[in-house]
Structure 1
Amino acid sequence: MGASFFICLALVLLIGLSSARQAKASAADYFVASRSVPPWLVGLSAVATNNSGYMFIGLIGYTYAVGIQSVWLMVGWIAGDLIGSKVAHERMRDEAERVHANGIISLLARWGDTRNRSWQVLAALVSVAFLSTYAAAQISAGGKALEGMLDIPMAIGMGMVALVVIAYSIAGGMRASIWTDAVQSLLMMVSMVVLLLAAVNHLGGLQAVFQQAGAIDGFLNPSPTNLDVPGFVGPLAFVVGWMFAGAAALGQPHIVSRFLALQNTRQMNQVRLWYYGYYLLFYCFATAVGLLSRLYFGESSGFDPEMALPNMARDLLPPWLAGLMLAGIFAATMSTADSLVLSCSSALTQDLPRHSSENRWLLKAATGFTTIFALGIGLWSEQSVFSLVVWAWGTLGAAFVPILIWQVLGAKLNSLAMLVMSSTGVLATVAWKFYGFPNTIYEGAVGMFSALVLGAIFTISSIRSRFHP
């Protein structure tokens, strides 16, 4: 098992390090690969970055717990992601090139030739805090996988993830991240399909699988039942809430940077074909494996559902295939972790200082620092991977997406309006998560909706002031 895993890991590391041969000494090259990435590579990189350790560890555990109703999370998430892409991605790519922005924060701060400096500083601080939390979840997922399959202590496994991420991210920046994502996306898909086939075979074939699943009360009931609101309102609110989560992809700096790196805006439909085709296929396979994990392990007290996939792979697969599975999980965590720490580095060196830095050594030092910081959060936090990811994702979406939507629609937002919108979105998300409000609605949806309403108020007030000075 260890041999095949380390061979795959060495391949990914070699590809990442080789990207340094094309690196240029500029911030634009380090953070958006000089806007030279072809559409197929942007699509595969974006889907590998999005489908992180959350999919291998968090989603599997969630599906183990709730059954087939987890599919509604997928429906809402992908629908929201697609709607957001059609609304904003072309405009974002064109505007970023026009104002020379290397990330979403500098893009929103300079949109329409504005200079919203005070908002940019706040956004950079929020970004570093929550991107680090998100990266910590990925590092934790990698540590869990190594502990479950190779019996390597979780802390050491997390250190291994951090070390590999630092190595090739510092070497090639965003280009290294995107090149390795292509290989990682293939590893992720192959490993998930292999485990799916092995689990079905072990459980006696498809007919036996459906019989066993039907014997578990409510496991194949597609309607969400663990909600606080009865009737159809609960499921509807659940799906709409996760549509907001999908749309929040527009506010994830590590995903947005892929679309900003595209060669030409006219290629965006090709990107979507690669991105959503691969995304939907992989999500279906991951959900199926989550369902099978419940049949395989049963319902036992003290069992960590987020360890279901690595434990099942170790039990069912021959050692060399188990190593491939572990490489797939590891690839998923690294493909997101490297992007997150690069986005943190962008916030620290491009957005927080008054004048963005072009010093290549400072850019690399920021990458190393943020990776170590994220490792520290992962070692300290006791929350699940799923919980950490959806919280950080929703908070970043609430901070950035409402502002982006109003700017795409033509609104002129000043720094005060942007500060109030982002602060309200973040606070509403945090309050909904930690103060016992109903779990029917995803907390990120509450934050995004609150900020969108405020954006409408500021926009209407601005229009009225033009006509009635």
Structure 2
Amino acid sequence: MVEIAFISFLTLFFFIGASSYFASEGTTEDYLVAGKNVSAPLIGLSAVATNNSGFMFTGMIGATYSMGLSSIWLMIGWILGDFLIQNTAVRRIRDIGASEQVHSFGGLLVHWLSTDKQNTCSETARHRLRQFVGLITLLFLTVYAAAQLKAGTKATEVLLDWDSDSGILIAAVIIFVYSLVGGLRASIWTDVAQSIVMLVGMGLMVMFGWVSLSETGGFVSALQQVSDQYLNLFPEYSTLFGAGLFVLGWVFGGMGVIGQPHVVIRFVTLSEQSSVRQMQMYYYFWFTLFYGLTIVAGLMSRVLVPEISEFDAELALPSLAQTLMPQIFVGLILAALFAATMSTVDSLIFACSASLNRDFSTQPNRRLWLNKLATFVILAIAVMIALSNNQTVFSLVLDTWGMLGSAFGPLIIWLALRRKVTVAAAFMAIIGAMLTFALFVVNGWWSDVYALTFGFISGIIILALHESAARQKET
């Protein structure tokens, strides 16, 4: 029954994605950016599902299982940072992205630079920057996609006793077929379906857990028995300053969304007639509700699946599902977890495909079959990395969000604020922010604060110093 339910939902995702073929215009532009005419509700749910990958089902629940109630600051900080940064940049992203020249993340940044009258730079310099952005996108997002494919198989190994290779290949085939026929529009449509399954699955998990705990004496009293600190609002810091930095780090973590090519390109596809505010209403309603349910599920799992030696906290959700739910709902939870990874993988693959086709050549590739071939090549590489089980490669994904947020977030904010940016300043900010982030991660400096904080701040400082120097030179 678990397998039947799981396969049924995967089949549903496949047919929803494949049905986008009937709305396709059969052009390269439609394939890469869905004609830039997608409605606000679809973009809101697609972007938030893409943003929240399998990390929410595994990593976040695992963090709550281990940390306790203090993990709520990850939610508060992340959503607050996301909200602040979107309100600064998303309208400008949609307006700049409306140009017929923008079909990739690199294309968005470079076109933004070229349309700002105070920024004068040669076509060659802009093309070099676009190639550099495309290279970063390809490198990090392909590895990210491979790790997501691998992560999606973790629960199938436990619940279905499938080997990891089977799950990777099944997900890859489904994604490739609906991507082939529907392009980015197929990715957006399946994201919406997956976001609904994710929310329903997490809601059912909390409901079944609540019923079980009500029968055994109550939720709060059970949590109080875990440890004296488990329900503390803050981790054990010696000073209020330390606790504040912990929260601030996750605010910057949320701000990193604006540097994620696979999320930002969805804002480009929002139609000119649609309201950004309406899109954000769907986005943040789902985000807040799902994140809250995730934390509650993590707390419940600590009580209902007690900590034991060598227990993998990231398997708390599927373990809890097996403990509490009928088999058909266990299949739903498994499908929801799988959906979370698939909604991110297809978005990553399309961002890479757009970069490969648009960011490296001076003449954009308008042949539809070559764009589809690029999608296949990127997905095939991601699958090979996933099948290789290279743990060194997979460890990189832990820092992918922070690296991309550090690299591109400051630049997009500076452009959105209509500040002076040259190609040289953009290069310096991207490289400087990435190096700063890497140094903090490798050396473990201020390890209680998410390293993206320092990468993001360093990028802003570099842009500010370069602007100040340029203005002094002018005067």
TM-score, with normalisation over the residues of structure 1? 0.94
CA contact (8 A) 1:200 1:206 kept: no
Query: Is the contact made by 1:124 and 1:348 (CA closer than 8 Å) also made in structure 2?
Result: yes
Deviation at residue 28 of structure 1 after TM alignment? 2.2
* Structure 1 residue 353 corresponds to structure 2 residue 361: yes
State how far apart, in whole Å, the 1-side matches of 2:294 and 2:45 are. 17
Deviation at 1:159, TM superposition (A): 2.1
CA distance in 2, matches of 1:184, 1:125: 29
Deviates more, 1:234-243 or 1:368-377: 368-377
Q: 1:93 — aligned with what?
A: 94
1:38 aligns with 2:49: no
Q: 1:233 to 1:374 in 2, by over 3 A?
A: farther
Mapping for residues 425-436 of structure 1, pairs under 5 Å: 425-436=433-444
Whole-angstrom CA distance in 1 between matches of 2:42 and 2:295 = 25
Displacement of 1:247 after TM fit?
1.0
Q: In structure 2, what is the Cα distance between the partners aligned to 1:423 and 1:205?
A: 56
Residue 377 to residue 432, structure 1, CA distance change in 2 (3 Å):
farther
* Structure 2 residue 57 is the aligned partner of structure 1 residue 56: yes
Matches of 1:390 and 1:375, distance apart in 2: 18
1:180 is matched with 190
Structure 1 segment 344-423 matched on structure 2, within 5 A: 344-379=352-387, 380-382=389-391, 389-423=397-431
Deviates more, 1:204-213 or 1:364-373: 204-213
SS in 1 for 2:68: helix
SS of 1:216's equivalent? coil
Structure 1 residues 277 and 131: alpha-carbon distance in aligned structure 2, compared to 1, 3 A threshold: same
Change in 2 beyond 3 A, CA 1:300/1:124: same
Q: What's the counterpart of residue 470 of structure 2?
A: 462
Cα distance, 1:384 vs structure 2: 11
Change over 3 Å in CA distance of 1:287–1:206 after alignment to 2: farther
CA–CA distance in 1 between the matches of 2:94 and 2:215? 47
8 Å CA contact retained: 2:256, 2:409: yes
Query: If the length of structure 2 is used for normalisation, what is the TM-score?
Result: 0.93
Task: For residue 15 of structure 1, report the CA deviation from its aligned partner.
Answer: 0.9
Pair 1:286-2:287 in alignment: no
Which of 339, 363, 377 aligns to 1:331? It is 339
Tell me which amino acid in the other structure corresponds to 1:22: A
2: CA distance, partners of 1:263 / 1:124: 25
Distance 1:265 1:406 in 2: 26
Partner of 2:250: 242
Matched residues in 1 for 2:203 and 2:390: separation?
31
- 403-412 or 69-78, which moves further after superposition? 403-412
Distance of 2:397 and 2:110 partners within structure 1: 26
Q: Which runs of 5+ in 1 are unaligned?
A: none
The one-letter code sitting in structure 2 at the alignment partner of 1:189 is L
Q: For 1:231 and 1:152, how far apart are their aligned partners in 2?
A: 47
Match of 2:260 among 252, 266, 284: 252
Quote how far apart the aligned CAs of 1:388 are: 5.4
Which residue of structure 1 lines up, in the alignment, with residue 3 of structure 2? 2
- Residue in 2 aligned with 1:210? 220
Show the counterpart of 1:301.
309
- Pairwise CA distance, 1:95: 1.0
Cα distance in 2 for residues equivalent to 1:69 and 1:127:
33
1:264 aligns with 2:272: yes
- Deviations 1:22-50, CA, capped at 9 Å, x for gaps: 22333321121111111111111111111
- Structure 2: gaps of 5 or more residues: 116-122
Match of residue 155 from structure 1 = 165
2:113/2:422 contact within 8 Å kept: no
Cα deviation, 1:103-125, whole Å, max 9, x if unaligned, reads 32211112142642212111111
Is contact 2:17–2:186 with CA below 8 Å preserved after alignment?
yes
**Partner residue in 2 for 1:123:** 133
Distance 2:392 2:170 in 1: 20
Paired letter, 1:454: I
CA distance in 1, matches of 2:231, 2:216: 14
Change (3 A) 1:36 1:353: same
